[in-house]
Amino acid sequence: MRVKSILTEARQIERAVTLIKLGARLQVLESETDLSYERLLRLYKEVSGRSPSKGQLPFSTDWFMTWQPNIHASLFLNIHEYLNKAAAMEEIDTVIKAYQLYLEQTEAQGLEPLLSVTRAWRLVKFVDNGMLTLTKCTKCSGNFVTHPHEMARHFVCGLCNPPARAGKGKAAGALSLTH
């Protein structure tokens, strides 16, 4: 069903613009607003000045399990959970606001924001579907993104116990570790 209220529509356009500015893929906008595909496409071109990227969204949960992405995803999801508990908002607004706070924090620490807004949105969906969850690390008590079947009693996060090859990359803005 298409939106009837002009006010609702205005809010949805505003939300779509924010998402496009954050770099969201068109599929995110289609799923989170009632605006038609044609209007979203026009809006996308108007806001970003280019056509949206084509192709499927990344659909696997594996990306979130590798060392660096897991740390970024965990930071985002902790902020998301915080906002979810502290403030009453619509789901997509929680994602937007948590993502903005995540961007601020990575920027303040001179890191490349590895997690795109599309991936952040996917992550929240994965958690809603029970495909991913937050598990408490038995060493630092921080909450980290894991598969739901992770053994909670023995779980140690990637920051307390980095894998042997972690932090060896030379990319700018990447995390590095000297062992």
Partner 1 sequence: METNQILAEIREANLSYMMLAQSLIRSDRDQALFRLGISEETANMITALTPAQMMKISSGNTLLCRFRMDDDLVWTLITSHGKTAANETVSRLHASILMAGRHQEAA
Q: Which residues bind partner 1 (CB under 8 A)?
A: 71, 74-75, 78-79, 81-83, 85-89, 93-94, 97, 100-101, 105, 109-111, 140-144, 159, 167, 175-178
Nearest residue (CB) to partner 1, 35 versus 159: 159
Nearest residue (CB) to partner 1, 40 versus 159: 159
Instruction: State the nearest-atom distance from the C-beta of 11 to partner 1, in Å.
Output: 15
Q: Which residues contact residue 96 at a Cβ distance below 8 angstroms, ignoring those fewer than 6 apart?
A: 15, 18, 19, 22, 117
Instruction: State the nearest-atom distance from the C-beta of 73 to partner 1, in Å.
Output: 10
Residue 44 backbone dihedrals phi, psi, to 5 degrees? -60, -45
Nearest residue (CB) to partner 1, 87 versus 131: 87
Count H helices, E strands: the chain? Answer: 6, 2
Instruction: State the nearest-atom distance from the C-beta of 106 to partner 1, in Å.
Output: 8
Instruction: State the nearest-atom distance from the C-beta of 161 to partner 1, in Å.
Output: 12
Sign of dihedral through CA atoms 117, 118, 119, 120? positive
Q: Which helix (H) or strand (E) is 145 found in, with range?
A: strand 143-146
